[in-house]
Structure formats: structure tokens, C-alpha cells
Amino acid sequence: MTVMHDTKKSVAKPVPNSGSLVRQATLLLIVYLILGILIYAFNRDHFSGIETNPFIDAIYFCIVTMCTIGYGDIAPSSAAAKIFACLFVLVGFGFIDILLSGVVNYVLDLQENMILTGIEENSVEGFSVKNYIYDKAKGRMRIRLKVGLAIGVVFLCIGLGSVVLYYTEELSVIDSFYLAVMSVTTVGYGDRAFKTPQGRLFASFWLLFSTLAVARAFLYLAEARIDKRHRRIAKWVLHREITVEDLVAADLNHNGFISDFE
């Protein structure tokens, strides 16, 4: 006689290999930028626009292209340069979307786990900060805190860009704020752009981080709306009275009984 025991095996949660992911992202980013810088540096006569420092302009052009902003202050002017720009932006778009976004997501998730771990270790009985920001059922931060962090990141990126633009590009307060918003949202109308070497050097780092961070922030906002809709539907289902039609529909075998399986 064979006896079967219903046992539950604990399966460890897979942990992403952060070191390998970050190294791979960094290596590919360096190779991508070096390739773009070399092509731009040796073919400057194939590009038109405002020039400052050749090296800074090359980095700035690559970052603006990779982040799909396209101010138009530096643009390809020959057929060969236009073909290169098409290939460069397609590769850069996929690279940003798949690889770097994965790294940013991992870093944000790691930061969230560190916060939750600290809350768990320092928790006390009764009401605490943990009860407000920690969803015990889902084992993660509550959506409302994520929304708060998302809004904070958006304002931080825009605020930092506005301040630096005001001093480096000598723009007005309105124009500085305008260019910062158009940049982090990757709109880039082209009526305003970075024209100074120090401004373009700052943009090379700021745009790379802020465009990804703001995109992630809007994903948090979308997640909050979806979560709110799910909770509203769940509340409606739980408070809805069971009708005869519901019981008949639950009898899948049509034998007049509703089993535990059904």
C-alpha cells in the first residue's frame, strides 16, 4: 500500500545576479558610447549644429540620441550620417528599454527590500510606520508609498535640471523649467537646448538617469491605478449577495452538489 504525503517544499525566491547585470549594462553602455563618439569625432563634417567641445559634443549627441530626445541642435547632414543615426537610435532605444531599465528596476527593488528589511527588524507591537507603508499580504511597500516616491522622483529630476539650466545656460526661470520638463519626458521640441560645454556635460549624465527614473515613476502611477481598480472589483465581489444563478454556475459537474474542488 502506497501512502502519499502532502508536503510543501519551500522554494527559495530567485535572487537576480546584480553584479553580473550591472557589469553587463556598464560594459555595453561603454561600448555603445565609445562607438558613437568615435564615429561622430571622425565625421564631424557630416553633422550640423551648434558646436562647443568636440568630446563633450560627441557624448552629448550619443546620450540625446540614445534617450530618444532629439533636440535638433546637433543633427546628421549627410546620407551616411543619417543612416548611422537611424541604426544608432534603434540600437540605443532597445538598449535603454531592455538593459538599462532592468538595472534601474533592480536598483529600485533592492532599495525597497532594504527599507522593508529595516522596518521588519525594528518593528514594534501596535501601530508603527511599518503598518502604514508595508503591505504584509503582498510582502512589499504599499502602492500609496510607491506613488509618493514616484512623484518625488519626478519633481527631483525636474527641479535639479531646472536649477542647473538656470545657471549654466543662463535661461529664465520659466525657460529652465520648460526645458527640464521637455527633456525628462523625452519630448524635445528643439526650440530650447543645451548650448554651453558645461550644460551639455551635465546633460550627458542627467538625461541618462532622469529619463529612466521618470519613466519608472509613471509605471508606478499606472500600477497604482490598476491596483485601485482591482481592489474596487474585489470589494464588489466580496460584498455581493450570492444568488441561485451563482450556485448553479458553481456546480460544474451538474450533479446537484458543490464540492470543495468546485
The 10s digit of each residue's pLDDT in 10-57 is 444 445 555 566 677 778 888 889 999 999 989 999 999 989 999 999
Residue 231 has pLDDT above 80, yes or no: no
Closest by CA to 45, choosing from 18, 80, 94, is 80
* Segment 155-162 mean pLDDT: 94
- 117-154: pLDDT as tens digits: 665 555 554 444 455 455 555 555 566 677 777 788 88
Task: Give a three-class secondary structure readout of 41-78.
Answer: HCCHHHEEECCCCHHHHHHHHHHHHHCCCCCCCEEECC
Closest by CA to 145, choosing from 182, 118, 112, is 112
Residue 179 has pLDDT above 70, yes or no: yes
> 76 pairs with which residues across the strands?
47
Q: Which whole-number Å values give the CA distances from 106 to 62, 141, 176, 227, 252, in the listed order? A: 24, 15, 31, 21, 43
Contact (CB, 8 A) for 150 and 217: yes
Specify the fold of 20-122+129-232: Helix Hairpins (1.10.287)
Say which residues have a Cβ less than 8 Å from residue 162's Cβ, sequence separation at least 6.
Answer: 173, 176, 177, 180
Residue 165 has pLDDT above 60, yes or no: yes
- Rounded to 5 degrees, what angle do the CA atoms 42, 65, 49 make? 60
Domain ranges in the chain are 20-122+129-232
C-alpha cell, 117: 528589511
- Per-residue pLDDT at 97: 66
> Exposure of 108 by Cβ count < 10 A (0-12 exposed, 13-18 middle, 19+ buried)?
middle
Mean residue pLDDT of the chain comes to 77
Q: Rounded to two decimals, what is the model's pTM? A: 0.69
Residue found by looking up cell 512589499 in the block: 140
Residue found by looking up cell 537646448 in the block: 193
Contact (CB, 8 A) for 197 and 52: yes
Rounded to 10°, the helix 101-121/197-239 angle is 60
Alpha carbons 217 and 41: distance in angstroms, whole number: 35
C-alpha cell, 195: 548650448
pLDDT-derived band at 226 (thresholds 50, 70, 90) equals confident
C-alpha cell, 69: 530626445
Pairing of strands 47-49, 134-135: unpaired
- Per-residue pLDDT at 232: 76
- Per-residue pLDDT at 80: 92
Contact (CB, 8 A) for 260 and 251: no
pLDDT-derived band at 171 (thresholds 50, 70, 90) equals very high
